[in-house]
Amino acid sequence: MAENNTSVQTQENKTPFSKSLKSEFSKIIWPGKEELTRQTIAVVCISVVMGALIALIDLALGYGIDFLVK
């Protein structure tokens, strides 16, 4: 008997949840194609610059540690 009550409760909870989810998705302001392209380019450029910076720091620290150990 208890199993039927939980089954009914989950079915009742799905409807308000899906309505709430749909309502929240309608509030989202999606970026346009131009804005999305600019942001994607910015993310890629920053990722490349940060990767190069980390590689240079790693290389410098590697040479420094090798110099100290030898």
Q: Given this model, what pLDDT does residue 18 score?
A: 85
Q: Given this model, what pLDDT does residue 59 score?
A: 97
Between residues 6 and 28, the one the model is more confident about: 28
- pLDDT surpasses 90 at 17: no
Q: What is the mean pLDDT of residues 2-26?
A: 71
- pLDDT surpasses 90 at 5: no
Q: What is the mean pLDDT of the chain?
A: 86
Q: What whole-number distance in Å separates Cα of residue 15 and Cα of residue 36?
A: 33
